[in-house]
Amino acid sequence: MLRVGLTGGLASGKSFVGRTLAGMGCCLIQSDELGHQVLSPGGEAYEAVVGEFGREVVTEAGEIDRRKLGALVFREPDRLAALNALIHPYVILRQERMMEEAGRRDPSAIVVVEAAILVETGSYKRFQKMILAVCATEQQITRAMHRDGITREEAESRLARQMPLEEKRKYADFVVDTSGTKEQTYRQVCELYRALREIQQ
């Protein structure tokens, strides 16, 4: 089994790269989805997060409102660090279990873990290869505004709190430039998949 990390920045195209690799036969693990699961009622981090941030982040249906939670932490690094400390250990545990299961099913599997802050948390060290999705800063802002329904100011504020993509390049074994058309990105991912398959053989 080949353990591969896939990261990027805000709206840098990593999810498109991940879905494309999954379509080619890789086992894709999306950390954002695991984050949803551990924060759901009954999830491993639910009670601790509600205890830390209060009932105001809980909807009438009893679910954690991720948007409200995000608004509470994104301007306060200490609170964001506290939230990450409550969530990430459980997300990593789920990742490891899923990777082990994929390896049992298929010893020649290429398992790709898509996550935004693999470099920042030091999690990149858990993977044999790292992929970085990059594009221009202005594209990140425009895509985030369109995708998330946020203002330019909000998008720029989120970007300002992230490690620049250029800085992440030194941790990457492969870089996919998503600034062109989807067809251009797809061709790069095809080459990437062939390279990963060669490594795994």
Whether 185 and 130 share a structural domain: yes
Domain CATH number, residue 168: 3.40.50.300
Whether 87 and 144 share a structural domain: no
Range of the domain at 48: 33-107
Whether 18 and 66 share a structural domain: no
Whether 103 and 173 share a structural domain: no
pLDDT beyond 80 at 201 = no
Whether 58 and 125 share a structural domain: no
Which of 107, 128, 158 delimits the end of a domain?
A: 107
Whether 192 and 135 share a structural domain: yes
Whether 38 and 76 share a structural domain: yes
**Token digits of residue 71:** 């608004």
SS3 content of the chain, % helix, strand, coil (to 5): 60, 15, 25
Whether 143 and 174 share a structural domain: yes
pLDDT in tens, 38-83: 999 999 999 999 999 999 999 999 999 988 898 888 778 899 889 9
Which of 60, 82, 107 delimits the end of a domain?
A: 107
For 20-94, list the strands marked E by DSSP. 27-30
Q: What is the pLDDT of residue 154?
A: 86
Number of domains the chain is built from: 2
Q: What is the pLDDT of residue 37?
A: 97
pLDDT band at residue 185 using 50, 70 and 90 as cut-offs: very high
pLDDT in tens, 87-121: 999 999 999 999 999 999 999 999 999 999 899 98
pLDDT beyond 90 at 19 = yes
pLDDT beyond 90 at 85 = yes
For the chain, list the strands marked E by DSSP. 2-7, 27-30, 110-114, 129-134, 174-177
Whether 184 and 90 share a structural domain: no
Which of 107, 128, 155 delimits the end of a domain?
A: 107
Whether 69 and 144 share a structural domain: no
Look up the pTM and report it.
0.92
Whether 56 and 73 share a structural domain: yes
pLDDT in tens, 150-173: 899 989 988 888 899 999 999 999
Q: What is the pLDDT of residue 15?
A: 95
pLDDT beyond 90 at 27 = yes
Q: What is the pLDDT of residue 73?
A: 86
Q: What is the pLDDT of residue 157?
A: 84
Convert 152-166 to b/e letters by CB count within 10 Å (16 or more is b).
eebbbebbeebeebe
Cβ proximity of 28 and 154 under 8 Å: no
Whether 6 and 41 share a structural domain: no
